[in-house]
Chains A and B, each alone.
Chain A
Amino acid sequence: MSEIVSKIKVATVWLDGCSGCHMSFLDMDERLLELGSQFDLVYSPLVDFKVYPESVDVALVEGAISSVEDEHKIHNIRKHTKFLIAMGDCAVTGNVAAMRNVFPVNKLLQRIYVAGADADPAIPRDGLPQLAKQARPAQDFVKVDVCLPGCPPQNRVIAGFLTNLLEGRKPEANQKIRFG
């Protein structure tokens, strides 16, 4: 990572997750201010850029890959990112998002949007990405450089990792991390 100049470009991405990992990211509190002065957040649900940039140094990806759209996104992210981090159990293992994997997609949609609906029972189709057969971890689609498991990963894990990265140490977590 030695070629990285003073301000690295960081992106955070929210795929099929609950945004808990992003909450944990925000939970770094004052450490986020310290670290934030050392990187540019170029793409994130927390900022207002609509298009994934051409060149990103580090991407923290939350969530499983659950739809055709997610699949396009993760390939695009990999293509334009030097260092891809699977942030949280959904991106690392599929986690809660993958609990639906034992049910066929049609039956699942039928159960939730028709049988389980109080009003207007219909499977929503317009403008929504098509669900993939299964929700799967990011590593099933692209090369993942580092996994930060946890549901969510603790803020100090994310902070420790980013600090290592920004200070030019080996980009890895500074402690053992547990799933869940």
Chain B
Amino acid sequence: MSATAVVKTLRIDGRDYSAKSDDTILDVARENDIFIPRLCELEGLSTVGACRLCLVEVKGSKKLLPACTTAVDEGMEISTNSERLQGYRKMIVEMLFTEGNHICSVCVSNGHCELQTLALELGMTHVRFPYNYPRLPVDTSHPRWVLDHNRCILCTRCVRVCAEIEGAHVWDIMGRGIDSMLIADLHQPWGESSCTRCGKCVQVCPTGALSDKTKFGSDHPKHPEFLPYLNMMREGQ
């Protein structure tokens, strides 16, 4: 923080906090160990506000605002964990489970999955909505990794890490709404794409959608924490 940075003060869940003027609500929460769930946001990547799990209540706003893209303001009063928010979060996670085919017991990410962990933290014991059971492909064309669309929640972390950090921009999202799908290049098999084989997308993927071919069972912890350090090194800090 430079000497001229403006400090904002705000209240989160009834307690006072100070923040840099360019911080988002999520930045402040993270710095102060306030739990706000999120699946698309990842420290070190740009924010897109796509998963809607980090929605918070801000006094004076009728709408719920995503903590990851909302900048702090002087005197802001924020509620991060109301009953209403908990209800919506549970609903979103349940809908993610119905949209794909998330079968934890046979997933390589079982025990290391952010979606599974979030369901646990939100106390989700079942899904109240009917399952879609979509028929989705699995791309095994890459020599090192697999893309299983059944497990993809379209968070776009892979899209962003490839474009912003690796600079290759192999990944993108095709289609709209329920038909949206992750594609490599112009919808080519991953193994025949312009992939540089850096593996960052696999490490930032919150579920088992992108995984290492050499991993069996549920032995696939991921390490997205390298990103902020990589950025710091690049910026010469």
Residues of A within 8 A of B (CB): 86, 89, 92-96, 98-99, 101-102, 134, 136-137, 139-140, 144, 146-149, 151, 173, 176-180
Cβ-defined contact, A180 with B101, below 8 A: no
By a CB distance below 8 angstroms, the chain B residues around A134 are 133
Known: A95-B105, A99-B103, A101-B133. A178 touches B126 (CB 8 A): no
Name 27 interchain pairs, CB-CB below 8 A, sorted by A: A89-B104, A89-B105, A92-B125, A92-B126, A94-B133, A95-B105, A96-B105, A96-B106, A98-B103, A98-B133, A99-B106, A102-B101, A102-B135, A137-B126, A137-B131, A140-B130, A146-B125, A147-B125, A149-B126, A151-B105, A176-B120, A176-B123, A178-B117, A179-B104, A180-B103, A180-B107, A180-B110
By a CB distance below 8 angstroms, the chain B residues around A146 are 125
By a CB distance below 8 angstroms, the chain B residues around A93 are 97, 103, 126-127, 131
By a CB distance below 8 angstroms, the chain A residues around B133 are 94, 98, 101-102, 134
Task: Say if the beta carbon of B116 comes within 8 Å of chain A.
Answer: yes
Minimum distance in angstroms from B58 CB to a CB of chain A: 29
Cβ-defined contact, A178 with B119, below 8 A: yes
Question: What's the Cα separation between A101 and B133 when bound, in Å?
Answer: 6
Chain A CB count within 10 A is highest, among B97, B106, B117, B134, for: B106
CB 8 Å contact bits of B81-108 with A (1 = contact, 0 = none): 0000000000000000100010111110
Chain B CB count within 10 A is highest, among A96, A148, A149, A178, for: A178
Task: Say if the beta carbon of B189 comes within 8 Å of chain A.
Answer: no
Task: Say if the beta carbon of B111 comes within 8 Å of chain A.
Answer: yes
Minimum distance in angstroms from A146 CB to a CB of chain B: 8
Partner of A178, one of B97, B101, B120, B131: B120
Question: What's the Cα separation between A144 and B125 when bound, in Å?
Answer: 12
Question: What's the Cα separation between A35 and B183 when bound, in Å?
Answer: 53
Known: A93-B131, A98-B133. A180 touches B97 (CB 8 A): no
The size bracket of the interface on B is 20 to 34
Question: What's the Cα separation between A93 and B103 when bound, in Å?
Answer: 9
Cβ-defined contact, B131 with A177, below 8 A: no
Q: Interface on chain A toward B: helix, strand, loop, or mixed SS?
A: mixed
Minimum distance in angstroms from B92 CB to a CB of chain A: 16
Cβ-defined contact, A147 with B131, below 8 A: no
Minimum distance in angstroms from A141 CB to a CB of chain B: 12
By a CB distance below 8 angstroms, the chain B residues around A86 are 126
By a CB distance below 8 angstroms, the chain B residues around A179 are 104-105, 116, 119-120
Q: Specify the chain B residue showing the minimal Cβ separation from A99.
A: B103
Cβ-defined contact, B104 with A151, below 8 A: yes
Q: Interface on chain B toward A: helix, strand, loop, or mixed SS?
A: loop
Question: What's the Cα separation between A174 and B111 when bound, in Å?
Answer: 20
Task: Say if the beta carbon of B121 comes within 8 Å of chain A.
Answer: yes
By a CB distance below 8 angstroms, the chain B residues around A147 are 125-126
Minimum distance in angstroms from A25 CB to a CB of chain B: 17
Q: Specify the chain A residue showing the minimal Cβ separation from B110.
A: A180
By a CB distance below 8 angstroms, the chain B residues around A173 are 125
Q: Which positions 195-223 of chain B face chain A at CB distance < 8 Å?
A: 218
Question: What's the Cα separation between A99 and B131 when bound, in Å?
Answer: 12
Sort A-B residue pairs by CB-CB distance and give the 5 closest, nearest first: A180-B104, A151-B105, A102-B135, A101-B133, A147-B126
Minimum distance in angstroms from A139 CB to a CB of chain B: 6
Minimum distance in angstroms from B194 CB to a CB of chain A: 31
Minimum distance in angstroms from B13 CB to a CB of chain A: 21
Q: Specify the chain B residue showing the minimal Cβ separation from A140.
A: B130
Q: Specify the chain B residue showing the minimal Cβ separation from A134.
A: B133
Cβ-defined contact, A95 with B103, below 8 A: yes
Cβ-defined contact, A99 with B101, below 8 A: yes
By a CB distance below 8 angstroms, the chain A residues around B130 are 140
Known: A177-B120, A178-B120, A179-B119. A94 touches B105 (CB 8 A): no
Minimum distance in angstroms from A161 CB to a CB of chain B: 11
By a CB distance below 8 angstroms, the chain A residues around B110 are 180
